[in-house]
Amino acid sequence: MYNLHLSVEQLEIRDTVRDFVAQTIRPAALRPERLEAAERLPAWDLLEPASRIGLRALALSEQRGGAGADTLTCCLVAEELAAGDVDCAAMLNETSTLARLLFDRLMTDAQRDRLLPQFLADDRYHLAFAGREPDAGAELGINYHRPAASEAAMPITAFRAANGEWVVSGASSRVANAPVAKLVAVRVAAAERACALLVPRDTPGLSVHRDADAHGWHHGTCGDVIFNDCRVPADNLIALEHPGAAGADRACAKSIGTQRAAMNLGVGRAAYEAALDYAQLRVQGGRRIIEHQAIGAKLAEIAIRLEVARAAVWQAAWAADHPEAVADRSLPDLPLAAIARVFTAEAVYRVAKDAAEVFGAMGVMRDMPLQKYVRDALIFLHSGGGVSDAKLGIAETLAGYRRPSAPMVRAAE
């Protein structure tokens, strides 16, 4: 059976978010001061209403107060949000995905009882996870098909004080959502065990430095997290060395990667919609420019690239939600999330450039959206290891190469 129907619920969620973006997000995102800003600060006037319609807790299970959205639904939402404002999309996705990982999968009942009510009650309560991906920044280029030779980053350490508290020291750079997080989970090396600690933002000794460089090359917000003899109660410890935890972390990584591709797609769609509208309004050469072959063919190419990218993203998302489809050979055993991310990043950059060209000189004006779409597409192409590293990662998987890796992943295998 081959079926591409979205469920009634998925269609409803997509329509709701699309309306919300059209009415609330887009008008604000298109204001020149936001389009031109070198550093886009968290837009609470957009993030709070988004939280109120449930987007901050989208992936959290229903029984715990979220919407229980699967990966495909999260991708539908990510595309819609990013078509309006990619930075808001990135922050909401990070928190929603971490909410599922932390509250649903990793926390003990006691931890959840203590922290979940605060999270649900506060529309400005966001989440960050320092050092969640031990392999991030592993610089695959130089390590292709070899054990990692990179100088390891200084780990964040924790030891048990006499009174039973954990004392955390160290730093983690460029942690997504750190500047807005009210709860920071941090992966620590403690007594040879992989574990994580939950550190509320107001814990003495915890400081977050927003990327001071206005030239930040990321979506959403990120910052350096510093733990300076930061003391947290003994029962803030999360064990990571059991197969359930490792599986949850892998699923989380896959889901974030696929949602990233969906956000990237949203940027492309915003560029496409703008170009399509303009091409039907602008008259040159005696007719609407869409009626000229050169522009018509360009818009067709844009539509083709976006549709093929969307198919790849949806397939990766659906595969994440249905692992049995790989087991029964319906889907190939390939890194579908990485494949979707690379294809989408390359396709959408081309889409954004072509769309901007349709606008002529208006395509490079900083108070107009097209130049921002081009820039946003470039950031997807050249951040987080970039597409070159991602291709090498895919190649290693094709060859069946497995790199000896960090403890948490090893424990899972």
Partner 1 sequence: MDFALNEEQRAWQMKARSFAEEEIAPISLARDASPTARDTFDWEIIRKGSRLGFRTAAVPKEWGGHGTDFVTQALVMAELAKADSAISKTFSQCWKWSHLIAAVCTDEQKERFLKPFLADDTFLLGKGITEPGAGSDNRMPPEDDPKAGLKLRAERHGDEWILNGEKAFIANGSVAKLFFLDARTDPNALLRQGTTMFMVPSDTPGFRVGKVFNKSGWRFYQNAELIFENARVPHANVVGAVGGADMRSHAAGDRTGGDLFGDLELAANALGVCEAACAQALGHARTRKQGGRYLAEQQLVLLKLNRMHMLTEALRSFVMRVAWEHDRKLHSPNAGLAMNFSTDVIQEVTELNMDIHGGVGCQMDRSADKLVRDGFIWSHLAGDSVQRLKVAKRIAK
369 counts as binding partner 1 under rule CB under 8 A: no
Q: Which stretch binds partner 1 (CB under 8 A): 127-135, 238-246, 248-256, 293-301?
A: 293-301
235 counts as binding partner 1 under rule CB under 8 A: no
The burial of 196, by beta-carbon neighbours within 10 Å (0-12 exposed, 13-18 middle, 19 or more buried), is given as: buried
Query: Which neighbouring-strand residues pair with 283?
Result: 288
Question: Is the Cβ of residue 66 or residue 384 nearer to partner 1 in the bound state?
Answer: 384
Contact 58, 88 (CB under 8 A): no
Query: Which neighbouring-strand residues pair with 187?
Result: 196
254 counts as binding partner 1 under rule CB under 8 A: no
Neighbours of 203 (CB within 10 A): 18
What binding mask, one character per residue, do residues 336-355 give for partner 1 by CB under 8 A, x or -?
-----------------x--
Q: Which stretch binds partner 1 (CB under 8 A): 83-91, 239-247, 263-271, 363-371?
A: 363-371
Question: Is the Cβ of residue 193 or residue 353 nearer to partner 1 in the bound state?
Answer: 353
Question: Is the Cβ of residue 160 or residue 366 nearer to partner 1 in the bound state?
Answer: 366
385 counts as binding partner 1 under rule CB under 8 A: yes
386 counts as binding partner 1 under rule CB under 8 A: yes
Q: Which stretch binds partner 1 (CB under 8 A): 89-97, 192-200, 325-333, 362-370?
A: 362-370
**Whole-angstrom distance, CA of residue 13 vs CA of residue 54:** 10
Question: Is the Cβ of residue 298 or residue 341 nearer to partner 1 in the bound state?
Answer: 298
142 counts as binding partner 1 under rule CB under 8 A: yes
**Minimum distance, C-beta of residue 396 to partner 1, in the bound complex (Å):** 14
The label of the residue with tokens 């087991």 reads: 327
378 counts as binding partner 1 under rule CB under 8 A: yes
Contact 77, 13 (CB under 8 A): yes
207 counts as binding partner 1 under rule CB under 8 A: no
# binding residues, partner 1 (CB under 8 A): 54
Q: Which residues within the stretch 156-175 sit at the binding site for partner 1 (CB under 8 A)?
A: 173-174
Question: Is the Cβ of residue 383 or residue 397 nearer to partner 1 in the bound state?
Answer: 383
What binding mask, one character per residue, do residues 257-286 give for partner 1 by CB under 8 A, x or -?
---------------------------xxx
**Whole-angstrom distance, CA of residue 407 vs CA of residue 194:** 7
The widest CA-to-CA distance across the chain, in whole angstroms, is: 83
SS (HEC) of 238-289: EECCCHHHHHHHHHHHHHHHHHHHHHHHHHHHHHHHHHHHHHHHCEECCEEH
Structure tokens at 45: 């006037």
26 counts as binding partner 1 under rule CB under 8 A: no
Q: Phi and psi dihedrals of 70, rounded to 5? A: -80, 180
Structure tokens at 307: 């549709």
Distant-in-sequence, close-in-space partners of 351: CB < 8 Å, separation ≥ 6: 268, 271, 272, 302, 305, 306, 377
Q: Which residues within the stretch 74-103 sit at the binding site for partner 1 (CB under 8 A)?
A: none
Q: Give the 3-state secondary structure of residue 376.
A: helix
Running DSSP on this structure, what letter comes out for residue 343? Answer: H
Q: Give the 3-state secondary structure of residue 226.
A: strand
130 counts as binding partner 1 under rule CB under 8 A: no
**Whole-angstrom distance, CA of residue 271 vs CA of residue 356:** 8
36 counts as binding partner 1 under rule CB under 8 A: yes
Question: Is the Cβ of residue 274 or residue 379 nearer to partner 1 in the bound state?
Answer: 379
Structure tokens at 352: 């954004």
Torsion, Cα of 24, 25, 26, 32 (10° steps): 110
Question: Is the Cβ of residue 71 or residue 177 nearer to partner 1 in the bound state?
Answer: 177
Query: Which neighbouring-strand residues pair with 198?
Result: 185
Q: Which stretch binds partner 1 (CB under 8 A): 177-185, 235-243, 304-312, 368-376?
A: 368-376
Q: Which of 33, 151, 202, 328 is the binder for partner 1 (CB under 8 A)?
A: 151
Question: Is the Cβ of residue 129 or residue 359 nearer to partner 1 in the bound state?
Answer: 359
Q: Under the rule (CB under 8 A), what is the footprint of partner 1?
A: 36, 38, 137, 139, 141-144, 148-151, 173-174, 211, 213, 215-218, 222, 284-286, 289, 292, 294-295, 298, 353, 356-357, 359-361, 363-367, 371, 374-375, 378-379, 381-386, 388-389, 392
